[in-house]
Amino acid sequence: MPQTLRREVCEANLRLPALGLVTLTWGNVSALDAKKGLVVIKGSGIPYADLTPDHMSVVDLADGRCVTGPKPSSDLATHLALYRRFPVIGGVVHTHSRWATVWAQAGRDIPVLGTTHADYFRGPVPCARPLTPEETTAGYEEATGHALAELFTDESILQLPAALAAGHGPFAWGRNAAEAVEHSLVLEEIAMTAWHTLALEPQAKLSQHVLDKHFSRKHGKNAYYGQ
């Protein structure tokens, strides 16, 4: 049983309300133990004030079966779909954070308007397509994960570590749970600043060469910013 990972995932979940990213129980963090083929995720409907490592569910990556702990979050199948498609992902966060959810409900990508965005995302944060009636009826949560996964390649998944589920809310990921939470926080900030920027200047945009510079100076073998 990955007890250390349960503690890490619990701590990552507790950061969500501390950072103002969740209301009530509207959020969850998971992490993958790739060697054991297990995923740890917040238990369903448990108030954050009561959360302990024992409230983390341990599930089998292959079949989603709960190995130990409480009933997993209802978003489990979305997390599993992302882990199965992109093995490089080690942590996933889902919230209904206010500003990112505004963009998700509008069905809009978040454009790159400034260097804060470019430091973390090598392009617009994409919004997935709406689900079909058939997808919504059968396997809704898993279909959500597949719709998100359609937006990415193996190369781009960590260059664009977040996306919006249309009409639903944001998902973010990283190499581990802590990094996924950081990306969730950055996503909320750029969602907020993008909305206000476009209200002030609808034609605002960031030059491609500036985007490339800011992303490359923070990521990759020649990175030198924020190391």
Sequence-distant (≥ 6) Cβ neighbours of residue 49 within 8 angstroms: none
3-state DSSP assignment of residue 220: coil
Q: What is the DSSP string of 167-218?
A: TTEEEEEESSHHHHHHHHHHHHHHHHHHHHHHHH-TT----HHHHHHHHHHH
Characterize the bridge pairing of strands 91-95 and 27-33: antiparallel
| Entry field: residues in the chain | 227
Among candidate residues 54, 140, 154, 225, the one labeled active-site is: 225
For 110, what's the count of Cα atoms within 13 Å in the CB-facing half-sphere? 36
60 a catalytic residue: no
User: Helix 177-200 crosses helix 3-18 at what angle (to 10 degrees)?
Assistant: 20
109 a catalytic residue: no
Among candidate residues 75, 83, 119, 120, the one labeled active-site is: 119
Positions annotated as catalytic residues are 119, 225
